Each structure stands twice: as C-alpha cells, then as structure tokens.
C-alpha cells in the first residue's frame, strides 16, 4: 500500500531510518534547517553516482542556504558505505558529508510514493524514481519533483528553486522564467496598485500588453 501523495504546503511526516551515518529521526536530524531529501533507484548505478557526487560538491551551496541534504536508496547501510567510496573516487572528493538512508525494505519509498512502476530490478521489484522533496524549517513540504530513473537531476536548478522559495516567502514578489539570484522579479498579482510605492520604493516597471491589463509588473530583486 502506498502512502497518501504529499502536496506543497503539507506537513512532511517525520520518520526514523537507518542511514550511512547511523539511525536518525528525520525532524531531530533537520534541527532548525531546511532539508532536501532525494531518492535513487539503487546503489552502484551510474547516474546515481554522478548525482550523489554532485550534491557532495555542492554542500557549501546548500549550507549557505541553510539546507541539509539527505539521499535515499533502496539498499543496505553496508552497501551504501561501499558505494560512498566509489562516489568519492568518481567526484574526486576528500569526504562525503551527508547521510544516505538505507531503504532496503522500501518502507519510505512506499510511504512517500517514490516507486517507479516502469523501473523493475532483476528480481521484478519496482525501483524508486528520482524524487526530490524540499522541506522547510517548519517541516512543511515546499517543493516536490519526480524524475524517471533514466534522467539525472540538475542540482543547479534545485538550488535556484530554493533561492526562489526563500526569497518569495518574505518579499511580495514571484520569480519569472529562468530567473536567477539577483535577477528581476515580478510583483505579486495580489499586490494592490496603491501598496506599490510602500512595498517597492525604488519603483516598478509595468509592461504594456494587448489586453490592456497591467498585471506584468517588474521590479529589481528586493
Ligand atoms: C542509473 O543510476 O544509472 C540508473 C539506475 C536505474 C535505472 C537506470 C539508470
């Protein structure tokens, strides 16, 4: 039986699990940080090795944003520990500084709907897809992405989304297509014209459109 699908804004359920760094209680492990939980089909597979290596290299970027990474793969702690040596070697890493959950019984994969019906292992059992959950410091789900096993994730994009999530939770803006940290932002449609001068003292630009509606309001990143 799979778990209930989680929606953005839902409380991310707590869990306990064995990991490559010992047993954890997810909430205790997070402390007051944000977390990115990302799952993998299996240990000792090529795309997963590139992904875990990339995240290890990006640890300083996650730290800057107050985000702790944690991976999940459907193999044992012993297997994870052996695989970490390959990941370090592949990525030329001197250390590997985040845990990998050992979900060899697929309990969390089921609980969080991470199984991919189209990816079946040699024993005929479905593997986990590449799920990404970004959980904030209040333990709310802020982002969820599912990729198939055959497509590795772009972790620069995930950092970009985290930047947008963290900016837009305190400022009255949304970030447009292909936005990057420091780029122009859109004034939220819910901001009334009379509130613009107070919220955006440096002014905004309103783009003229064939509809005559003035919803496309651009501001430097606040
Ligand atoms: C991989 O990590 O390379 C992989 C794993 C399962 C299916 C396809 C690719």
pLDDT digits (tens, 9 = 90+) for 19-45: 999 999 999 999 999 999 999 999 999
Domain extents for the chain?
10-167, 172-219
Cα R_g (the chain), whole angstroms: 20
Does the domain at 172-219 match CATH 3.30.1020.10? Answer given as: yes
Q: State residue 116's pLDDT score.
A: 82
* Cβ-based neighbours of 124, under 8 Å, separated by 6 or more: none
Span from the CA of 125 to the centroid of ligand 1 (angstroms)? 14
Please tell me if the CB atom of residue 45 comes closer than 6 angstroms to any atom of ligand 1.
yes
Classify domain 10-167 by CATH architecture. Answer: 3-Layer(aba) Sandwich (3.40)
Q: What is the pLDDT of residues 38-97, one digit of tens each?
A: 999 999 999 999 999 999 999 999 999 999 999 999 999 999 999 999 999 999 999 999
Q: State residue 2's pLDDT score.
A: 64
Q: Whose CA is nearest to atom 2 of ligand 1?
A: 47
Burial class (CB in 10 A: 0-12, 13-18, 19+), 177: exposed
Task: Indicate which residues carry an active-site annotation.
Answer: 48
- Ligand 1 atom closest to the Cα of residue 119 is 7
Please tell me if the CB atom of residue 182 comes closer than 6 angstroms to any atom of ligand 1.
no
Q: What is the pLDDT of residues 94-152, one digit of tens each?
A: 999 999 999 999 899 999 988 888 878 888 888 888 999 999 999 999 999 999 889 99
SS3 category, 37: strand
């Amino acid at each position: 039986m799979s778990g209930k699908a989680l929606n953005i804004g839902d409380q991310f359920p707590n869990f306990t699990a064995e990991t490559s760094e010992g047993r954890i209680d997810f909430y205790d492990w997070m402390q007051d940080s944000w977390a990115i939980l990302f799952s993998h089909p299996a240990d000792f597979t090529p795309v997963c090795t590139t992904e875990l290596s990339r995240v290890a290299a990006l640890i300083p970027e996650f730290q800057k944003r107050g985000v702790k990474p944690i991976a999940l793969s459907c193999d044992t702690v012993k297997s994870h520990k052996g695989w970490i040596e390959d990941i370090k070697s592949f990525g030329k890493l001197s250390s590997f500084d985040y845990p990998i959950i050992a979900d060899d019984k697929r309990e969390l994969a089921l609980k969080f709907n991470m199984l991919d019906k189209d990816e079946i292992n040699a024993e005929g059992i479905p593997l986990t897809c590449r799920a990404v959950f970004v959980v904030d410091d209040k333990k709310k789900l802020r982002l969820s992405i599912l990729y198939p096993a055959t497509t590795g994730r772009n972790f620069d994009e995930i950092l970009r989304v985290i930047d947008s999530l963290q900016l837009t939770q305190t400022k009255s803006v949304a970030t447009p297509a292909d936005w990057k940290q420091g780029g122009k932002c859109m004034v939220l449609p819910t901001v009334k014209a009379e509130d613009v001068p107070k919220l955006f003292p440096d002014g905004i630009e309103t783009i003229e459109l064939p509809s005559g509606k003035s919803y496309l309001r651009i501001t430097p990143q606040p």
